[in-house]
Amino acid sequence: MVTDLLLCAQHRRVGQRNGRAKGDRDPEPRPASGASTAMSCRIERTIDGKEIVVLSVSGRIHGENVETLREMISREKHQLALDLTEIILVDREAVRLLAVSEASGIELRNCPAYIREWIAKERVLGYGP
């Protein structure tokens, strides 16, 4: 199995103290309150035993991440599947990309129900078949 990993975007903001007393130990280091280390999107590329390239997408797909995913999809020459198990949030452009991708033969694995319903609505508007 071949694995590649792409972190689409990561941002950090510095905030105020997190309310812990000096010397208290946090079992898991985390940002101060008001701070963010949220990863926007992660795409992991694997090849399964059937020689299908699987792009496992997690996090949020929006803005420039849609373009990154579109570019990764367009580079693939083998049969392709998108695993959406760990998707948290998508925007309209991401849903349109998923609709068009599925219409062109790309399998959408573990697609959350709300995304599946949104894809169906976008198809009515002309995205996908």
The CATH number that applies at residue 90 is 3.30.750.24
Range of the domain at 50: 3-18+40-124
Residue 128 has a pLDDT of 73
Domain total of the chain: 1
Residue 4 has a pLDDT of 67
Global confidence as pTM: 0.72
Of the candidate ranges 23-32, 59-68, 84-93, 117-126, the one whose mean pLDDT is the lowest: 23-32
Question: CA-CA distance, 39 to 28, in Å (whole number)?
Answer: 17
Task: Please state the three-class secondary structure of the chain as a single string.
Answer: CCEEEEEEEECCECCCCCCCCCCCCCCCCCCCCCCECCEEEEEEEEECCCCCEEEEEEEEECCHHHHHHHHHHHHCCCCEEEEEEEEEEECHHHHHHHHHHHHCCCEEECCCHHHHHHHHHHHHCCCCC
Residue 30 lies inside a defined structural domain of this protein: no
